[in-house]
Structure 1
Amino acid sequence: MVPGRNLCMAGWNKEYSGRLMSSQDNEYGATEYICVDSNPDRGHSSRSQHFRLFDVEARCGTLKCPPYVDGQEITCVVCSSQT
């Protein structure tokens, strides 16, 4: 998973691209980040427990701006090796 990009580097295959997300929405940060496909397949579940995900936004000072834009959601891409 490559955060902040929509395309893979040379020699890699693009599996999907999407948005960087986390299970926490606060100033203390997340413990894990995941790349959620921009066109996800919807699942069906009868369970009452739900897992909430939040977009990860860039913050200047924490990240270098530019290329990041303060307050903008961060994209991501999942790549696999061609070998």
Structure 2
Amino acid sequence: MLVTRKLWGNSSCPFGTTTIYRGVASGGYYNHDGTPANLMCLPPDPVRPSNNLGGSIPTYTVEYQTGGSINHANDRNVPCAVCEVSGKTAILMIPSHKECPTGWRHEYSGYIMAGHNSHKGSSMFNCIDISLEQIPGTGGDDSSHQLYPIYAASSQLPRDGSYALTCVVCSK
């Protein structure tokens, strides 16, 4: 069985996996109503169709909106990679953890990031590689799809102040 997964925030697949392609993270505009919630990893070499239907929903680069110890990535565009994980049948993202359960293989760990709660656009929780790799030559706020670190705000959730929640991606 062949399992693929997207790696957000890094353009290199981990050891033991095969890179299918590297690309740039893309998503709906952060402040438009009705934008798609999921991100796409767009390859660097798009192929134009022979019959153009005309696009009606734009997609934008994804950029980090960070502060504190990870501010070096702020306003930079997010790379991605699509990786083949041979011999595995499941991929699992565990929020607020850094290690995989017994019997699972650690693929990568990082931070949970999503769109801001004050933005109208849809977003999903994504585990972004801890390296927060950036697309070279990008920067400056271009008002694209934006990713912010997530923290647990409800007293019913395990939390530690307003620190960004970690995540780990595991395979089995």
Q: Please, what TM-score do these two structures have when normalized by structure 2?
A: 0.41
Alignment of 1:23 with 2:44, yes or no, is no
Cross-structure match for 1:65: 70
Q: Partners of 1:79 and 1:21 in 2: how far apart?
A: 17
For each residue in 1:56-77, what CA deviation from the matched residue of structure 2 results, as whole angstroms up to 9, or x when unmatched?
010014xx615x5111110000
Q: How many residues align?
A: 81
Rounded to whole Å, the distance in 2 between the matches of 1:22 and 1:31 is 8
Question: Residues 1-42 of structure 1: CA distance to partner in whole angstroms, max 9, x if unpaired?
Answer: 010011101111100011000023438986111100012222
Percentage identity across paired residues of the two chains: 19
Structure ranking higher in strand proportion: 2
Match of 2:58 in 1: 52
Q: Output the CA distance in 2 between the equivalents of 1:80 and 1:9.
A: 10
Structure with higher RCO (Cα < 8 A, 6+ apart): 1
- TM-score, scaled to structure 1: 0.77
Unpaired runs of at least 5, structure 1: none
Q: Aligned pair in 2 of structure 1 residues 46, 34: CA closer, same or farther (>3 Å)?
A: closer
What SS is found at the alignment partner of 2:29? coil
> Larger radius of gyration, structure 1 or 2?
2
Q: How large is the RMSD of aligned CA atoms in angstroms? A: 2.7
Give 4+ residue runs of structure 1 displaced > 3 Å after superposition: 27-30, 48-51
Task: Give the unaligned 5+ runs of structure 2.
Answer: 1-5, 88-172
SS at match of 2:58: coil
Counterpart contact for 1:20–1:33, Cα < 8 Å: yes
**Pairing of 1:27-46 with structure 2 (within 5 A):** 31-46=37-52
Distance 1:74 1:27, change over 3 A: farther
Q: Does 2:15 match 1:13?
A: no
